[in-house]
Structure 1
Amino acid sequence: MSESTEAWVVAGVRAVIGTHTQAQDAGRTDDVVALYTPDAVLELPGMDPIEGHDALRDAFKSWAPTQPQLHLVTNTVVTSRTEDEATAASDVAFLQRGESGWAVQLVGHYEDTLHRRDGAWRLHRRSTTFQ
């Protein structure tokens, strides 16, 4: 893979992860779901896997923010890549703003697999762990 293609893949993966974070924190459920492939799987600790757009939409709608929140995603490393598939690892801290200000609610880690479909990168699998 050429350096320019590699850079394009890395930029596309990071853009999807950042767009997901901002849409989720703003409660834009349809925008979040649009970032997943139709057969995507979301894995969260203590829950059965959430599979497909309908299930993802229901889940993210139920998690829509009721107070200001931020997912601070950092240390994203694209761990493997081709022109049509990439994997990435990221750390995340979830904060909410309450009466006494912002507070960290949890810290975790994402392992993402993304596929390029119709010229756009989409999440195919996200596995989340909490620390």
Structure 2
Amino acid sequence: MSGSTQAWVAAGVRAAIGAHTQAQDAGRTDDVVALYTPDGVLQVPGIDPVEGHDALRDAFKGWAPARPQLHLVTNTVITSWTEDEATAVSDVAFLQRGESGWAVQVVGRYDDTLRRHDTTWRFQRRTTTYQA
């Protein structure tokens, strides 16, 4: 899109990040996978990189919530952008609800690279790191 502004890019990137979070927490695997480019890569500590729609679908099916969960993603900063690619960093806290209520399971950071396809932004790469 000619004449893209940083605000337009930031809004698109934040919308993709929010859609990913909502779909993942609801267990909507196909919706999560659709947010990645066909060759998209997910890197999570402790496992080999997950690459491509088929592998992403298998991974997210395996992570489908068995009980209520929330990924609280905040402090998203767009670190670089062009009309067709953007990088962003976000903080994340992962919570699950158990018998005694909600509890934080993991705190970490997302480093995302997204590419624009028509008018939507899709994940090319998401790298997750955990904070000690």
Fold equivalence (TM over 0.5):
yes
Q: Specify the code of the residue in structure 2 equivalent to 1:11.
A: A
**In structure 2, how many angstroms separate the alpha carbons of the residues matched to 1:15 and 1:104?**
24
**In structure 2, how many angstroms separate the alpha carbons of the residues matched to 1:108 and 1:39?**
24
Q: Which moved more, 1:9-18 or 1:117-126?
A: 117-126
Secondary structure at 1:57 match in 2 = helix
**In structure 1, how many angstroms separate the alpha carbons of the residues matched to 2:68 and 2:128?**
22
- Give the corresponding residue for 2:25: 25
| Displacement of 1:118 | 2.5
The unaligned stretches of length 5 or more in structure 2 are: none
Superposed CA offset, 1:70-94 (max 9, x none): 0000000000000000000000000
Runs of 4+ in 1 over 4 A off after TM superposition: none
**In structure 1, how many angstroms separate the alpha carbons of the residues matched to 2:112 and 2:85?**
11
Superposed CA offset, 1:3-44 (max 9, x none): x62111000000000010000000000000000000001001
**In structure 2, how many angstroms separate the alpha carbons of the residues matched to 1:119 and 1:30?**
20
User: Do residues 56 (structure 1) and 56 (structure 2) align?
Assistant: yes
- Give the corresponding residue for 1:71: 71
> How well do the aligned residues superpose, as a CA RMSD in angstroms?
1.2
1:72-111 matches, cutoff 5 A = 72-111=72-111
**In structure 2, how many angstroms separate the alpha carbons of the residues matched to 1:6 and 1:127?**
23
Secondary structure at 1:39 match in 2 = strand
Paired residues, number: 130
**In structure 1, how many angstroms separate the alpha carbons of the residues matched to 2:46 and 2:32?**
22
TM-score (norm 1): 0.96
Q: Specify the code of the residue in structure 2 equivalent to 1:84.
A: D
Secondary structure at 2:53 match in 1 = helix
| Displacement of 1:120 | 1.4
- Give the corresponding residue for 2:35: 35
- Give the corresponding residue for 1:6: 6
TM-score (norm 2): 0.96
Q: Identity of aligned pairs, percent?
A: 78
Secondary structure at 2:105 match in 1 = strand
